[in-house]
Copies of this chain bind each other. A is one copy, B any other.
Amino acid sequence: MKTVSVTRRERFSASHRLFNPNWTDEKNEKTFGKCSNKNWHGHNYILFVTVSGLVLEETGYVIDLKKLSEIIKDRVINKLDHFNLNLEVDFMKDTITSAENIAIKIFEELEPHIKNLDCKLQKVKLEETENNYVEYYGQ
């Protein structure tokens, strides 16, 4: 049996701002620039979830992509899509909503559910714009 990585792409549109509550507005503005705008801005985020595991002989699958997609939607997309990442997402509470932190939190949300399916969550990749993306491998 061989190990293959499988990646599912999902998308969400959300508003956010970069803001450190321990800082003055001036310091936030100086550090984060227009990303700190108090009236929010937003993105079409593109999420790639990569899972690896043995290819099952009976199905030719590492994981049923429909199940993987359902887990991602249940645990992540439905909580982020068309929401405000700073105000409305339980797992982003008290976290600066940088792409780095969103990716880490998504990884942590997904990992136990992937493990339940005898697969390993390898990577969460999050594109914020066509010019910027981050990758988190869980360490």
User: Which residues of A pack against B, CB within 8 Å?
Assistant: 2-11, 13-16, 18, 20, 22, 31-35, 37, 39-44, 50, 55, 58-62, 65-66, 81-84, 87-88, 95-101, 103-104, 129-137, 139
Contacts and interface: CB of A to CB of B under 8 A. Distances in A.
B41 A42 contact: yes
Contacts of A20: 58-59
A40 B22 CA distance: 24
14 contacts: A2-B136, A3-B139, A7-B134, A9-B131, A11-B130, A35-B82, A37-B88, A39-B87, A41-B83, A42-B43, A43-B43, A50-B135, A60-B101, A61-B98
Given A10-B131, A15-B42, 7 more contacts: A15-B15, A15-B39, A18-B60, A34-B81, A55-B98, A59-B98, A62-B100
A32 B16 CA distance: 20
Nearest to A10: B131
Contact of A83 (B11, B39, B95): B39
